A and B are shown apart, each in its own frame.
Chain A
Amino acid sequence: MDALTLHRIHFAFTITYHYLFPQLTMGLALLIVVLKTMALRTNDERYNVAARFWARIFSVNFLIGVVTGIPMEFQFGTNWSEFSRRAGGVIGQPLAMEGVFSFFLESAFLGLFLFGEKRLSKFAHWGAAFLVFLGSWISGFFIIITNAWMQHPVAYRLLPNGTFEVSSFWGLMMNPWAWLQYAHNMSGAVITGSFVMAAVGALYVLQNREGDYGRIFLKLGVQAGLISCIAQIFPTGDLHGKYLARHQPVSIAAMEGLFHSEKGAPMVVMGQPNFATQKIDNPIAVNKVLSFLIYGTTAAEVSGLDQFPRDQWPTTLPLLFYAYHIMAGLGTYFAALMAVAAFLLWRGKLYTARWVLWPILLSFPLPYIANTAGWMTAEIGRQPWLVYGLLRTSEGYSKHIDVATSLFTLLGFLGMYSVLSILWIVIVYTTIQKGPSPVVEASSSHSPATA
Chain B
Amino acid sequence: MGALWFWLVAVMLSAYVVLDGFDLGVGIISPFVARTEEERQHALRAIGPVWDGNEVWLVAAGGTLFFAFPLLYASAFSGFYMPLMIVLWLLILRGLSVELRMHVNEALWRSFFDGLFFFSSSLLAVFFGSALANVIRGVPIGPDNYFFLPLWTDWRTGANPGILDWYTVIGGLMAVLALSLHGALYLSLKTEGQLADRARALVRRLWPFVCLATVLAIPATVLARPDSLGNYRIYPAAFLSPIAVVISLVAIPIALRRRSEVGAFLASCAYLSAMLCGAAAGLFPVLLPSTNSSGESITIASAIAGPHSLRVGLAWWIFGMMLAVLYFSTVYWLFRGKVAQHADTYGH
Contact = CB atoms under 8 A, between A and B. Distances in A.
B342 to A, nearest CB: 13
Given A68-B92, A400-B146, A88 B66 contact: yes
Contacts of B122: none
A59 B81 contact: no
B328 A420 contact: no
Given A77-B73, A84-B77, A401-B148, A157 B308 contact: yes
A191 to B, nearest CB: 26
A400 B50 contact: no
B3 interface: no
B78 interface: yes
Contacts of B317: 96, 100
Interface string A317-359: 0000000000000000000000000000000000000000000
A220 interface: no
Contacts of A400: 78, 142, 144, 146-148
A112 B60 contact: no
Contacts of A115: 48-49, 345, 348
A108 B327 contact: yes
Contacts of B324: 100, 104
Q: Which of A66, A164, A402 has the most CB of B within 10 A?
A: A66
Nearest to B80: A78
A12 interface: no
Contact of A78 (B85, B305, B316): B85
A164 B99 CA distance: 40
A52 B345 CA distance: 11
Interface in B308-341: 308-309, 312-313, 315-317, 320-321, 323-324, 327-328, 330-331, 334-335
Secondary structure type dominating chain B contacts: helix
B334 A112 contact: yes
Contacts of A430: 103-104
A98 B56 CA distance: 10
A52 B346 contact: yes
A66 B145 CA distance: 31
B238 to A, nearest CB: 28
A101 B73 contact: no
A166 B312 contact: yes
Interface in B28-54: 48-50, 52-53
Contacts of B60: 96, 99-100, 103-104
A104 B89 contact: no
B309 A59 contact: no
A159 interface: yes
A89 B70 contact: yes
A115 B58 CA distance: 24
Interface string B52-73: 1101101110111011101101
Contacts of A114: 345, 348
A14 to B, nearest CB: 10
A369 to B, nearest CB: 24
B223 interface: no
A77 B84 CA distance: 10
A298 to B, nearest CB: 46
20 contacts: A66-B95, A77-B74, A84-B77, A88-B305, A89-B67, A92-B70, A93-B312, A96-B63, A98-B63, A108-B327, A108-B328, A109-B327, A119-B334, A163-B306, A400-B78, A400-B142, A401-B78, A405-B81, A427-B100, A430-B103
Interface of B: 48-50, 52-53, 55-56, 58-60, 62-64, 66-68, 70-71, 73-78, 81-82, 84-85, 88-89, 91-92, 95-96, 99-100, 103-104, 142, 144-148, 305-309, 312-313, 315-317, 320-321, 323-324, 327-328, 330-331, 334-335, 344-346, 348
3 pairs of A and B residues whose beta carbons are closest in the complex = A77-B77, A165-B306, A92-B67
